Amino acid sequence: MRDVARMAGVSAQTVSRYFKNPDLIGLGNRERIAKVVADTGYFPNPAASTLSANRTNLVAVIVPTIDHSIFSDAVAGLAQTLEARNHGLMIATNGFSLEKEEQQVERFLAHKVAGIVLIGQHHSERTTRLLRASGTPTVELLEIDNPPIDIAIGLSNLAAARDLTSRLIALGRRRIGFISAPPEGNDRVQRRLEGYRAALESAGLPFDPGLVAGAEFRIENGARVFSQMHAERPDIDAVISNDILGLGVQLQCARLGLAVPEDVAITGFDDLEVSSILERKLTTVKISGFEMGTLAGEMLLERQSRDAIAPEVVDLGYEILWRDTTP
Amino acid sequence: MRDVARMAGVSAQTVSRYFKNPDLIGLGNRERIAKVVADTGYFPNPAASTLSANRTNLVAVIVPTIDHSIFSDAVAGLAQTLEARNHGLMIATNGFSLEKEEQQVERFLAHKVAGIVLIGQHHSERTTRLLRASGTPTVELLEIDNPPIDIAIGLSNLAAARDLTSRLIALGRRRIGFISAPPEGNDRVQRRLEGYRAALESAGLPFDPGLVAGAEFRIENGARVFSQMHAERPDIDAVISNDILGLGVQLQCARLGLAVPEDVAITGFDDLEVSSILERKLTTVKISGFEMGTLAGEMLLERQSRDAIAPEVVDLGYEILWRDTTP
DNA sequence: ATGGATAGAGTTACCGGTAACTATATCCTT
DNA sequence: AAGGATATAGTTACCGGTAACTCTATCCAT
């Protein structure tokens, strides 16, 4: 930078301003520096900048896994927003482990990232404490049922599941199964389960643990788990699930000769493209990971420029798409 | 760090060694420093480290989009390997634009990343030049048909498509369609198209541009494009595609009353889970993005420790899964 | 004409590590 | 016992920016 400054006949500080805040310097100098920069291909060293200014233009995101489209959608939205605003994105995966998440948060804070995006609101106590203490803008994505660390963007999984369950009950279903991802380490699923139970309770229906099961995100798992559940609870007349597992349930119903939605109603969650691939399209709760990621990026960057602000919660809501697998 | 050093009664350099190369210091000091570090929660500042040592423990990956599972699989493999080896991952998406890719490479090089992973081998001239000149370990993923910048890991898309086409011809198909992602900016598709043409040529079959089409990665697009193609070329008896579009083709065949594979054989590419969701499972070319990502991470980190090495090409090959949509 | 605001630019010190070198003690080897 | 290798630790200078401050010129209101 000093070389560039010398060639342009200005001080290093002026060159620094040229990159950070061009309208603070005079037009003549601005053009002169621009020319030298173009000629030499000079680019400021981000490490030096970070060290000196104690901040970066890097945002970090920690997702359980990138293999699931709801998360990769969110990352895609985030990446797009950040790129447009000249910020970089660091990514880490924790495989639903709060301990790994804590380590990753620690590392990212050491990197002085401009912001951190986490999935959900279930973190180790130390994670929460570190984030609060650091003052780093933080977004919790996909869940808003709890008080946020800083910013929470998403939907109430509890409300969505309660709503969905209530409507199935209103449609006359009495033996409703709940097949989801394993609830361990996945707070969203816990909240949905709560919503499901709340709806049963308000309707005066009993909660039967035999109608609840968890399985990893694979179509075949949905089929297998439903198969077992149906063997033990032949009177099951509806299944609340997600799009991947729900697809498996739907396939298994066909194999078992059960009519959908007459014998068994099925609902998904996410509105993936595959949920409408079969003849009978899956009824599902639509949420937009991409939109959440985009908004997360915008809010993080905006928060940088302001001073400490009170926590914020943004409810992006959900939409139930009633399609062919419900009556 | 100087504070930690003082508390442990050693010099800052010794503390630095404690983090970088613990076995260079004596056992007594090591324990003393460990204690102080544990008490204070001290963590070295990566920016200072980067500035001084002129290198980071960050690897960068640039993908066209993260929405497509082949890319997110690769990123997942990469992330996992890097995390295990205590390296971070920066990610950027370029939406198939070589110009954006160039800018991103430039930025990442300024960050002194320890390695860069790109998708494919189609880059701007300047991108290639910058990467070569920087000496940064570079992996090109998913394509090995061209000479690599540094390391190339993947498969020969040309060979895979030629192989597949030849076998369809051997099975008696004569009017083979080619429906893929838009070839613009996507060199993998270009190579596959070359392989397709090469196979036609060796068999003495004519190349008909009316049997070639491109569409964005959505199931419905596969259906739409096939529908048009079939309207104009009713004698089409096979389609080479990818899993998403191929699924659309398969659905459209059902709608049009065409028997699969009797009237129309269909092949995909990628072996996504959805390709085996329908009654008749899609014949497909299986490639493992996850494995490629994992290997990319390992090779990058290994290359760091050595001196300049000759370019390397790793052919991970492919496997054709003959299932129900081919005779 | 005077005091004060504002724009544009420069000076100085510092951010927090590590490379490269030096210093010392210990242990072999011949 | 002398010379050399090895292990361990310290010293010094520097990496490349930016914050915070100072300085000068210009403009305006009173």
The packing angle between helices A219-232 and A243-256, to 10°, is 50
The pLDDT assigned to A308 comes to 59
Q: Kindly state the tokens that stand for B55.
A: 């290198």
Q: Name the residue among B301, B234, B304, B284 with its Cα closest to residue B87.
A: B301
Cβ distance B106 to A56 less than 8 Å, yes or no, reads no
pLDDT at A305: 66
Q: How many CB atoms lie within 10 A of CB A298?
A: 16
Nucleotides of D under 7 A from a protein CB: 7-12, 14-20
Q: Tell me which residue in B58, B80, B110 faces A93 most closely, judged by beta carbons.
A: B80
Give the minimum alpha-carbon distance from A240 to chain B in angstroms, rounded to a whole number.
Answer: 20
The whole-number Å distance from A114's CA to D12's C1' is: 34
pLDDT value at B145 more than 70: yes
Measure the N-to-C terminal CA separation of chain B; round to a whole number of Å: 69
Residue B276's pLDDT is 87
- Inter-chain touch A110–B44, beta carbons under 8 Å: yes
Binary contact (B45, A89; C-beta < 8 A): no
Q: Which residues of A63-86 are buried (b: 16+ CB within 10 A; e: fewer)?
A: bbbbbbbbbbbbbbbbbbbbbeee
Question: Which protein residue's Cα is closest to nucleotide D16 at C1'?
Answer: A48
- Percent of chain B predicted with pLDDT > 70: 99
Locate A214 and state its tokens.
């968890």
Cis omega (within 30 of 0) for bond into A261: yes
| pLDDT tens digits, one per residue of A179-211 | 999 988 899 999 999 999 999 999 999 999 999
pLDDT level of residue B308 (50, 70, 90 thresholds)? low
- Angle CA A14–A20–A25, to nearest 5: 40
Helix axis angle, A69-84 to A289-305, nearest 10°: 40
Residue A303 is predicted with a pLDDT of 85
Helices B219-232 and B243-256: angle between axes, nearest 10 degrees? 50
pLDDT at B277: 86
Put simply, the answer to whether B73 touches A67 (Cβ < 8 Å) is yes
The angle formed by the CA atoms of residues B317, A68 and A254, to the nearest 5 degrees, is: 90
Contact list, B89 vs chain A (CB under 8 Å) = 90-92
Mean pLDDT, rounded, for B77-89: 94
C-alpha distances in Å from residue A196, one per residue of A153, A202, A235, B268: 22, 10, 18, 39
**Closest by CA position to B282, among listed B322, B251, B252, B312:** B322
pLDDT at position B38 over 80: yes
Cis peptide before A46 (omega within 30 of 0): no
Per-residue pLDDT at A306: 61
Size of interface A-B (CB pairs under 8 A): 109
pTM of this prediction? 0.93
Residue type for position A116: I
Residue from B83, B87, B218 to probe the interface with A (highest A Cβ count within 10 Å):
B83
Pairwise CA distance, residues A194 & A145, whole Å: 11
Where do we find the tokens 């954006």? B100
pLDDT at residue A216 greater than cutoff 70: yes
Q: How many CA atoms lie within 13 A of A246 on its CB side?
A: 32
Per-residue pLDDT tens digits for B262-304: 999 999 999 998 888 888 999 999 999 999 999 999 999 988 7
Residue B115 has pLDDT above 70, yes or no: yes
Residue A46: closest CA among chain B residues belongs to which residue? B111
Protein residues bordering strand C (Cβ below 7 A): A 9-14, 23-26, 28-29, 48, 51-52, 54; B 1-2, 12-13, 16, 19-20, 44-45, 48-49, 51-53
Mean pLDDT of B224-237: 97
- Partners of B218 on chain A (C-beta within 8 Å) are 273
Q: How far apart are CA A98 and CA A256, in angstroms?
A: 39
HSE-CB of B285 using CA atoms within 13 angstroms: 23
pLDDT in tens, A285-310: 999 999 999 999 999 998 876 655 78
Residue B42: its chain A contacts at CB < 8 A? none
Position A234 pLDDT exceeds 90: yes
Mutate to test the interface with B, among A51, A61, A63, A66 (most CBs of B within 10 A): A66
The whole-chain average pLDDT of chain B stands at 94
Tell me the mean pLDDT in the region B142-171. 96
Strand partners, A276: none
Amino acid A311: pLDDT:
86
Query: How near does any CA of chain A get to the CA of B198, in Å?
Result: 34
Q: What is the pLDDT of residue B160?
A: 97
Nearest beta carbon to residue A79 from set B83, B93, B278: B93
Phi and psi at B34, nearest 5°, equal: -55, -40
Q: Return residues with beta carbons within 7 A of strand D.
A: A 1-2, 12-13, 16, 19-20, 44-45, 48-49, 51-53; B 9-14, 23-26, 28-29, 48, 51-52, 54
What are the pLDDT digits (tens) for A43-84?
999 999 999 999 899 999 999 999 888 999 999 999 999 999
